[in-house]
Copies of this chain bind each other. A is one copy, B any other.
């Protein structure tokens, strides 16, 4: 791509005001408070750890922000050829007036203090949205998030459902669901009622999507009522002893029910397909997951056929799955491409249809 074409494309992109369809932002504290919130993000901690920094160096309890930055900066040099590092420098220059080529042991304190002055401004969260060309961001909300205390037209709730689909066999998760919905989870029918109440509560608070991340082997299928009951009974009787089979039946039942509720409540169902959780057990916070290239969207064919009225924004984590995703979006009217996993390092963009609904 020629330099001229690049500039033309980037200039056009700059004119677009975006809605970010997937963030982990805390709406009560949406912007960084210190440079440690930026440099302490897993984009940097996992690279620094991979290049030799001890996990305990940045995960020490009650570590002061300034000290955290000091320790991370000591491990930045091997990261200077990464795109993440270039983003750090861009952020430092664009927002904090940084003028040097690199952040080093010798100049980081000046940067830290400059950042502090900028980040302390009362309207900083509004400033950073405006300067980033963002008019709103979708959050990642636990199903029992109270959803109170912020402007939901800017920080838009999104019902994240990994716990419901993959961990409802754990008594603690069931108790949380019962507590927040007031439903006695005696049967799959009651489960469905509890899930429906979540949708009612979330949409009343202007939620715009239901979302989930899925392991590479998952293949959604409908579960008949009697099979769901047998599995749920076994899990309720002896949660510790129930087998993989019951857990999977429950996962399939809950997933399919969520898709039905997305249809009923006219919410898009965001699918982030292909993640293995906790692969590197010694990894830093949020730096333990990896993906698997051996995944195909054919696993979701029945789902896409069964719910033509539900929009499925789909992200695939492996770049090798991109062509399949493009083809599915081209063939299925209800499948749209989405994309936001950090291993790909490609900026997220919001699909037109989803933006129009917000």
- Chain A residues in contact with chain B, CB under 8 A? 2-3, 46-47, 49-52, 276, 279-283, 287-298, 301, 304-305, 308, 318-321, 323-324, 326-333, 343-344
Contacts and interface: CB of A to CB of B under 8 A. Distances in A.
A328 to B, nearest CB: 6
A333 B276 CA distance: 18
Given A298-B279, A323-B319, A290 B331 contact: yes
A343 B295 CA distance: 18
A321 to B, nearest CB: 7
B327 A290 contact: yes
Given A276-B298, A298-B292, A323 B318 contact: yes
Contact of A328 (B290, B298, B326): B290
A46 B330 contact: yes
B323 A293 contact: yes
A206 B318 CA distance: 40
Given A47-B330, A330-B47, A296 B292 contact: yes
Contacts of A290: 297-298, 301, 324, 327-328, 331
Contact of A280 (B295, B305, B321, B324): B305
Given A279-B298, A282-B305, A323-B319, A46 B293 contact: no
Contacts of A47: 330
Top 3 closest A-B pairs, CB basis? Answer: A320-B320, A292-B296, A327-B343
Contacts of A330: 46-47, 50, 343
A294 B296 contact: yes
Q: How many chain copies does the complex carry? A: 3
A291 B321 CA distance: 11
A43 to B, nearest CB: 10
B280 A331 contact: yes
A216 B324 CA distance: 14
Contacts of A318: 323-324
A231 to B, nearest CB: 27
A343 B327 CA distance: 6
A320 B293 contact: yes
A355 B291 CA distance: 29
B283 A331 contact: yes
Nearest to A276: B298
A343 B319 contact: no
14 contacts: A46-B330, A50-B329, A276-B298, A279-B298, A283-B331, A290-B297, A290-B327, A292-B298, A292-B324, A293-B296, A293-B320, A320-B323, A326-B343, A327-B343
A333 B54 CA distance: 10
